[in-house]
Amino acid sequence: MPDASVPAYDEILEQLQEYHRSQIGRSYFYIRMENDRTNLCRIVPGAGKIFFHEIVDHEKHGISEDDLEEAVSLGAGSFTTPGYYPVSGHIETKLRVLLDYQ
């Protein structure tokens, strides 16, 4: 049985599916803020469940700390799960440029 430190990925994925900009390719991207750290994350669903989850190196994708902070401020109150936010349109554009053609 998972403890409180394990996020409810199914619940997060359900909320992400309501935001068209969160899905890029087969992955769903979102921002997680925890202990004053902001991370870009992705979930890859498969076979009706969560297949893969990771923290993404946002700098490798041309996304700055300022981009993440802006997305958090724009997405405040969007998800019912505390500390989770949808990506902003700016982050979506950067990810699509890099990932839609791979």
Average pLDDT over residues 51-69: 91
- The answer to whether 59 touches 50, Cβ cutoff 8 Å, is no
**Which single residue is written with the structure tokens 């994708």?**
61
Q: What is the pLDDT of residue 48?
A: 67
What is the pTM for the complete model shown? Answer: 0.83
Average pLDDT over residues 17-44: 89
**Which single residue is written with the structure tokens 């890099």?**
98
Q: In this predicted model, which residue has the larger pLDDT, 60 or 11?
A: 60
Judged by average pLDDT, the poorest of 52-56, 75-79, 98-102 is 98-102
Q: In this predicted model, which residue has the larger pLDDT, 39 or 26?
A: 39
Query: Domain spans of the chain?
Result: 9-99
**Which single residue is written with the structure tokens 């925890």?**
34
